[in-house]
């Protein structure tokens, strides 16, 4: 029994170690602006020019420069909600059975530390298109390519690996995986009214690709009873090339009054992408993008498993494993009669059937964020800033619950601003941002990094990196 348990622990370590490695190569979050990343996102009342887009379009009315253009930049990253170098080292090689061992770790304590939604990994990349991001006066035009991912393992999987299945308990294995690429095209404008302004960003969301688990067609479970255990699951991964949708940002801001500024915005008040409908992407780039997809055009991927009354006696009787555990993986096309295995269709038969396959449109949401911010200019020092941010659903970059962000921008040397910010929304949800800028004449270079879900290198569960070049005059 101990040998089987140790094998499960080795499997667990094999799953978790890549998460720790990748967690330090990328970053997370809708923070394409290095200044905002360095201030932990506390910039709703501070953003100016082209960088107001995506945070608070009303701030276009109070930009210090009449013209600004993003000449290039990149934000990329990954974070997770469970593993850091510190707590991975704690369980790597741990003994979960012998309480007298020097490597003993309480198994129940470890399981209780796993979030209710299991291990989640969020990825993101923002690539502003150089030269097609500019702001003049109270208007702006913006464009960028974004890639977002949300993936992970359900908590039930950890329960099963660590302590097996409890008799009578059914473990639901729900997979919620998503990877989406899109191009955002936005037109922003502000309407000033004295010391205040309102602003809007109208966005066209050009869907590039999407891969994700179809929640309506996917489910799985393991059940242990007094005679043995059984289980059954079916997971359908669908892919799409080409989609279209629209988004809307709304903002409010004040000018600087006695050193104070206020900003309020609702980002993605409306936002979604409709896939498998008519789209510019599919017409112009469909064949090129399809070459990067894992399956052929109009194909989905289906995984099924089934276990029937598996008992210890059947193991002792050397019953063939393939009769106890049955699983299949294959691609399918979705026809009017239902799912059809595509490996049964070749040549003209596949081409003919796939013309009308998988054309049922589906919609993915662009999660909304509400931002409330204030800032204070301290003469001879710089800026102090504070933001409250919340999402309305747990998806991609958004999460329910308020986040408090506090930042400081030191401007003793205006050509070399230094930034630091902290964001807090619970003991396991913290962010430390650090950044600086080099501003010489009309050219500005900014760079920042942030630790996610931990404030030190050995405790962080992800690292963000961002840099950008801006032309201002």
pLDDT at position 27 is: 37
| DSSP result, 134-182 | EEETTEEEEEEEEEEEEEEE-HHHHHHHHH-PPTTPEEE-----EEEEE
- pLDDT, mean of residues 70-97: 84
pLDDT at 103 over 90: no
pLDDT at position 164 is: 66
Backbone angles phi, psi at 392, to 5 degrees: -120, 0
Helix (H, G, I), strand (E, B) or coil at 403: strand
| DSSP result, 193-255 | ETTEEEEEEEEEEEEEEEEEE-GGG-EEEEEE-SS-EEEEEEEEEEEEEEEEEEEEEEEEEE-
Lowest mean pLDDT among 209-218, 346-355, 368-377, 416-425: 346-355
- pLDDT, mean of residues 307-336: 71
More confident residue, 241 or 23: 241
Tokens of 361: 């449109």
> Do 447 and 439 form a contact (C-beta atoms < 8 A)?
no
- pLDDT, mean of residues 377-384: 96
pLDDT tens for residues 193-252?
999 999 999 999 999 999 999 988 899 988 877 667 788 899 999 998 989 999 999 999
- pLDDT, mean of residues 424-432: 79
pLDDT at 139 over 90: yes
| Domain boundary assignment for the chain | 2-298+359-472
Handedness of CA 49, 50, 55, 60 (dihedral sign): positive
- Residue 385 bridge partners (DSSP): 375, 407
Quickly name the fold that domain 2-298+359-472 has: Porin (2.40.160)
pLDDT at 73 over 60: yes
Unique residue bearing structure tokens 């009873």: 225
pLDDT at 286 over 90: no
Question: In Å, how far are 59, 256, 261, 267, 402 from 195, measured between CA atoms?
Answer: 11, 8, 10, 22, 28
Lowest mean pLDDT among 7-21, 208-222, 302-316: 7-21
Question: In Å, how far are 16, 75, 104, 154, 163 from 108, measured between CA atoms?
Answer: 18, 38, 12, 17, 9
Question: In Å, how far are 70, 105, 387, 420 from 437, measured between CA atoms?
Answer: 15, 45, 21, 12
pLDDT at position 428 is: 62
pLDDT at position 128 is: 93
283: confidence class by pLDDT, cuts 50, 70, 90:
confident
> Do 147 and 124 form a contact (C-beta atoms < 8 A)?
yes
Residue ranges of E strands in 346-402: 362-365, 369-378, 382-391
Tokens of 19: 């998460």
pTM listed for this prediction: 0.84
More confident residue, 164 or 411: 411
pLDDT at position 110 is: 80
């Amino acid at each position: 029994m101990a040998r089987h348990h140790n094998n499960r622990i080795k499997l667990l370590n094999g799953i978790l170690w890549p998460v720790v490695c990748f967690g330090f190569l990328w970053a997370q979050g809708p923070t394409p602006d290095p200044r905002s990343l360095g201030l932990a996102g506390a910039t709703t009342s501070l953003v100016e020019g082209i960088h107001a887009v995506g945070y608070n379009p009303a701030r276009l009315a109070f930009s210090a420069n009449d013209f600004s253009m993003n000449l290039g930049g990149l934000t990329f990253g990954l974070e997770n909600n469970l593993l850091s170098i510190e707590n991975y080292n704690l369980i790597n090689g741990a003994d979960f059975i012998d309480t007298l061992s020097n490597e003993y770790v309480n198994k129940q304590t470890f399981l209780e530390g796993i979030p209710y939604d299991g291990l989640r990994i969020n990825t993101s990349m923002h690539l502003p298109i150089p030269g097609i991001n500019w702001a003049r006066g109270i208007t702006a035009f913006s464009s960028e390519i974004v890639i977002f991912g949300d993936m992970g393992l359900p908590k039930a999987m950890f329960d099963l690996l660590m302590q097996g299945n409890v008799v009578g308990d059914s473990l639901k294995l729900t997979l919620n995986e998503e990877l989406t690429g899109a191009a955002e095209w936005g037109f922003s404008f502000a309407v000033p009214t004295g010391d205040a302004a309102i602003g809007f960003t109208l966005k066209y969301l050009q869907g590039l690709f999407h891969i994700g688990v179809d929640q309506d067609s996917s489910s799985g479970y393991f059940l242990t009873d007094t005679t043995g255990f059984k289980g059954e699951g079916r997971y359908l991964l669908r892919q799409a090339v080409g989609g279209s949708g629209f988004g809307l940002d709304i903002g409010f801001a004040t000018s600087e009054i006695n050193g104070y500024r206020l900003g309020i915005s609702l980002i993605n008040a409306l936002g979604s992408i409709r896939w498998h409908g008519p789209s510019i992407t599919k017409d112009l780039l469909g064949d090129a993008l399809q070459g990067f997809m894992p399956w052929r055009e109009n194909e989905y991927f289906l995984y099924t498993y089934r276990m029937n009354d598996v008992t210890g006696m059947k193991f002792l009787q050397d019953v063939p494993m393939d009769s106890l555990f049955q699983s299949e993986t294959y691609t399918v096309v979705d026809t009017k009669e239902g799912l059809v295995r595509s490996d049964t269709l070749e040549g003209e038969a596949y081409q003919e059937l796939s013309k009308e396959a998988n054309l049922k449109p589906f919609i993915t949401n662009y999660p909304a964020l509400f931002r409330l911010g204030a800032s204070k200019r301290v003469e001879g020092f710089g800026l102090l800033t504070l933001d409250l941010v919340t999402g309305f659903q747990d998806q991609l970059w958004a999460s329910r619950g308020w986040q408090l962000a506090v930042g400081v921008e030191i401007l003793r040397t205006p050509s070399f601003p230094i930034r630091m910010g902290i964001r807090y929304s619970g003991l396991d949800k913290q962010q430390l941002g650090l950044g600086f800028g080099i501003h010489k004449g009309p050219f500005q270079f900014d760079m920042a990094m942030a630790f996610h879900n931990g404030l030190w290198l050995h405790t962080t569960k992800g690292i963000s990196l961002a840099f950008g070049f801006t032309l201002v005059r």
